[in-house]
Amino acid sequence: MSVTGCCSCLPNSFVLRFAPQIAEFCGVDELARSLYLNVLFIGDVVGRPGRTALRHLLPSLKDETDADLAIVNGENAAAGYGITEGTLAELLEAGADCVTTGNHVWAQKEAYKLADREPRLLRPANYPSGAPGRGAGIYEARNGVRVGVLNLLGRVFMAALDCPFRRGDEELEALRAECDVVIVDFHAEATSEKRAYGEYVDGRVAAVIGTHTHVQTADEQVLAGGTAFITDCGMTGPSDSIIGVDKKVIVQRFLTGLPAKFEVPKRADSVLDAVVVDCDEATGTARNITRICRSHPSGEEASGDQR
Ligand SMILES: [Fe+2]
Ligand SMILES: [Fe+2]
């Protein structure tokens, strides 16, 4: 009888307590695997094509990566701008355990109330006090580990919010008191600001994952102190586009300097960009970070799949 995979849903405390028995009956590999904490992070989901790709790809990706927790950036989920109750529900239904956002979080009016009442939705923590919602949360991974997620917004070439470094420290202190592993979504434009934040918290969090540019960078690494880092995770949305938006509109905007409404196609071949971080809950750092890029042809959508 095969027992491979039988322990992956058990709490680590249980696995540690019965480690000798698990090693004997299930094998050392299974014991080691059951102690891993794999966090899957999906880059900004853009519009309906992004939501469709997520719905089709996330369940198998979670299986393939043996993910214990899935975090999805949903700041562009509603037609490219912000997030609504319906689009958040789609992301959660697809398998997201926590949805982070960024500078577009307030683009849809209903996000104000949604951020207040839905604990699985985060907005950047460094919005000045009084902003709706929360910038950090704690979520239970499949293996029972409590994972803190912190969402921050950079300030270079972006709106001047509170300092993400200092505000982040306040949130980290609270998170570290209640959980062993913290993942940060640092939503920012400038590569230098993202890397600087990664170095600033190196060794204090398991991962700093950059978002916002919608272009996946090839610099994933574990920093000297043990924090996994990538400048930008990328996006989940139309591939034949300019960062998810209709390319003709954007080119025209650059040619004329005139404002134009950004359009996201309702149906398009899409990419899903992600990273998976292998976390060490004993140290609160990371062992490894792996970049993922998948495609989802729009032709694969079933006829009843036109939400
Ligand atoms: Fe975005
Ligand atoms: Fe953004």
Centroid of ligand 1 to alpha carbon of 3 (angstroms): 41
Protein residues near ligand 1, an ion, with CB under 5 A: 44, 75-76
The mean predicted confidence, pLDDT, of the chain is 92
pLDDT of residue 6: 55
Read off the pLDDT of each residue in 15-19 and give the average, rounded to a whole number. 73
Residues counted in the chain:
307
> Residue 245's beta-bridge partner residues?
242
**In this model, does residue 292 exceed pLDDT 60?**
yes
pLDDT of residue 19: 78
Q: What is the dihedral sign for C-alpha 106, 124, 137, 50?
A: positive
pLDDT of residue 28: 73
In words, the CATH class of domain 38-298 is: alpha beta
At 83-117, the pLDDT tens digits run 999 999 999 999 999 999 999 999 999 999 999 99
**In this model, does residue 302 exceed pLDDT 60?**
no
Nearest to 29 by CA among 13, 12, 6, 9: 6
Centroid of ligand 1 to alpha carbon of 243 (angstroms): 8
Ligand nearest to the CA of 73: 1
| Residue 2, number of CB atoms within 10 A of its CB | 6
Centroid of ligand 1 to alpha carbon of 233 (angstroms): 11
pLDDT of residue 256: 97
Ligand nearest to the CA of 245: 1
Q: What is the dihedral sign for C-alpha 248, 251, 252, 253?
A: positive
pLDDT of residue 32: 64
What's the CA gap between 59 and 210, in Å, rounded?
23
pLDDT of residue 205: 98
**Hey, where are the domains in the chain?**
1-35, 38-298
Cβ atoms of 147 and 138 within 8 Å: the answer is yes
Q: Could you list the active site residues?
A: 104
Q: What is the pTM of this model?
A: 0.90
Q: Is residue 235 helix, strand or coil?
A: strand
**In this model, does residue 2 exceed pLDDT 90?**
no
Q: Which residues contact 251 (CB under 8 A, 6 or more apart)?
A: 242
Centroid of ligand 2 to alpha carbon of 109 (angstroms): 17
Centroid of ligand 1 to alpha carbon of 143 (angstroms): 30
Place of tokens 């690494």: 221
Beta strands 44-45 and 285-296 are unpaired
pLDDT of residue 143: 86
At 129-180, the pLDDT tens digits run 999 999 999 999 998 899 999 999 999 999 999 999 999 999 999 999 999 9
